[in-house]
Chain A
Amino acid sequence: MHFPPWLWYSAITVLAWGVVGLLQKLSTNHISAESSLIWLVVGFLVLEPLLYPGSALFHYSGWNLTWALLSGVLNALGAWALFAALKSGGKASIVAPLTALYPLVVIMLVPFVLHESITRLQGVGVVCALIAVVLLSA
């Protein structure tokens, strides 16, 4: 049986990220939410040399560089909150799908920030996500 390369790569992504959800819970079983975040970023930094784009980095516009850096700040704050949720008794099987609903916020902000309109299907997605939040935390 032959699997195309995209399927292999996608499988690596989904497995790696799925395992991360489990390891997040395991790390907060042993250390605080703050320490979990600090060691998470140490793990990120291990891969930084692979991602270093060289001098191309200085050719992007200041605003876009700012958005990229600020996205990191917000991601770290979100990850800290995720660890805090797991540390304060949240189950990995509930917190992982619950926090994966963050595109909800994007879809609700897009009309104001990017002046794009929401499609009907995205509207259905928003309703499903809100129902999921209520039921998962029931």
Chain B
Amino acid sequence: MQREMQGEAVVAAPRQRWNARWFWYSIICVLCWGGWALLSKLGSREIPPGTMQFLFTVGTIPVCLALLIGRRGKLEKSPRGITYGVLNGILSGVGGLALFAAYHTNGNTSLITVATALYPMITVVLAISILRERFRPIQALGLVFAAIAIVIFSL
């Protein structure tokens, strides 16, 4: 009960950043994805991108199996949740394939990299317009810094 109340307080008062579980989960994500990107960089010195994506997907399977075993094979039977989940995977893959296709054309490679790296900005627009999410001016400023960092990192 107390934990639940703490959880609600965190959502209600996002100022308490260092107590917010979503923040720390996001940091764990950044650390794991940093490792993923670094290992991808190492592997792709020899392996072409399509094969990297094939192998990477094989690598995600053990994590899923571990989670499935942890849940004793029980998954929620929410058709909408499942549809969104599967679509996430398909669209991520399609986005990746379109990126390989873009690199195969004689377009400007760095322009392609910068433009596609800015995908979170599309998420922001969609979340504001469809999910009616709102954020504070200081967070909007954070978004500008994030966009600058993303552009620099992709150069």
Residues of B within 8 A of A15 (CB): 95, 122
Q: Tell me, rounded to whole Å, the shortest Cβ–Cβ distance linking B131 to chain A.
A: 6
Report, as a range, how many residues of chain A touch the other chain.
35 or more
Enumerate chain B residues within 8 angstroms of A86, measured Cβ to Cβ. 22
Chain B contributes a number of interface residues (CB within 8 A of A) equal to: 115
A51 at the interface (CB under 8 A from B): yes
Query: A1-27: which residues lie under 8 A (CB-CB) from chain B?
Result: 4-7, 9-10, 12-27
B92–A102 contact, CB under 8 A? no
A22 touches B145 (CB 8 A): no
- The secondary structure that dominates the A interface is helix
Partner of A137, one of B17, B53, B63: B17
Residues of B near A52 (CB, < 8 A) are: 54
- Contact: A7 with B75, CB < 8 Å? no
Chain B, residue nearest A108 (CB): B34
Contact between B94 and A16, CB atoms less than 8 A apart: yes
Given contacts A9-B98, A35-B85, A75-B32, contact A51 B71 (CB under 8 A): no
Kindly state the separation between the CA atoms of A73 and B127 in the bound complex, as whole angstroms. Answer: 28
Within the complex, which residue of B30, B50, B107 is in contact with A51, where a contact is CB–CB below 8 Å? B50
Instruction: Tell me the smallest distance from the CB of B29 to a CB of chain A, in Å.
Output: 4
Interface contact A46-B59, CB-CB below 8 Å: no
Q: Are A138 and B17 in contact (CB under 8 A)?
A: yes
Query: A117 an interface residue at 8 Å Cβ cutoff?
Result: no
Given contacts A6-B102, A13-B116, contact A21 B85 (CB under 8 A): no
| Complex alpha-carbon distance, A107 and B92, angstroms | 24
Q: Let me know if A41 and B81 touch, CB within 8 A.
A: no
Q: Which residues of B contact A37 (CB under 8 A)?
A: 63-64, 67
14 interchain pairs (CB within 8 A)? A16-B92, A21-B126, A25-B131, A35-B82, A41-B63, A42-B89, A43-B90, A60-B47, A72-B57, A85-B22, A85-B29, A98-B30, A125-B148, A138-B17
